[in-house]
Amino acid sequence: MKPWKGDSRQIVRKSPEQLALMRRGGMLLREVFHLLESRLRPGVRDTDLDRIARETMQKMGAKPAFLGYRGFPASVCISINEEVVHGVPRGRVLKEGDIVGIDIGLVYKEFITDASTTYAVGAVSPAAQRLMDVTREALFLGIDQMRPGHRVGDISAAIQQHAEENGYSVVRDYTGHGIGRTMHEAPECPNFVTRGGGRGKRLEPGVVIAIEPMVNAGGSETRLLKDNWTVVTADGSLSAHYEHTVAVTEDGPYILTL
């Protein structure tokens, strides 16, 4: 949510039983996404999507992880066009050609899963579609680095390289993060590296990270709106955001929210 400070400074490795709970939470979270996707069309208000998500989680026996977290006023982050992350639903009507990042956290039996997808509202421009495609590809290239013996910097390098090779920039003000009983655990997982790959914490089985590339069509700089939550690109360019909660296992990455 806010620039990463961490609720927990220690990396907390999850047991197989805890991963099973997070996997169940991830499956419920994906059901929420499927429902919102079916309602996503021109003319829909962002507050309606927020309400649907909240009510659906409550019916599932889960609850929104974002509502009230550090004072966040909604259940879902909805970021439109030049908005990067943490968009606050405020009654805006979605229009044909918008791209909309929907970011949801769900609490199930004390464990949190977190995911985001950027959607096209109706027909979007080829430039917007390409930005979304490249950002999603960067996410899965980062996920592929979630293997024992690799380091967090390998995830960062894979994301940054793919985005920049395609002419885009990665946001540096906000990052991915460990996740579990609290929203932001160690390790911090940036979408960029400053000294090459292979840096950062070593990955071991049981480590769980919310990997979330935020990729801009223009420059990497961002600014915060007056609501003190919604982050936009400084130059007004489009931005896309994709995220999965992923565990390291002996066999490689295990996507808990797929």
Which residue ranges form the domains of the chain, and what is each CATH number?
A: 8-255 (3.90.230.10)
Give the closest residue to 110 by CA, choosing from 18, 8, 243, 33: 18
Judged by average pLDDT, the poorest of 9-13, 22-26, 75-79, 101-105 is 9-13
Confidence (pTM): 0.94
For residue 197, pLDDT over 90 is answered with no
| Coil/strand/helix, residue 106 | strand
Strand (E) or helix (H) holding 249? strand 244-249
Whether the CB-CB separation of 170 and 215 falls below 8 Å is answered with: yes
Tell me the mean pLDDT in the region 242-254.
97
The chain-wide mean pLDDT, for the chain, equals: 95
How high is the pLDDT of residue 61?
97
pLDDT confidence tier of residue 196, bands split at 50, 70 and 90? low
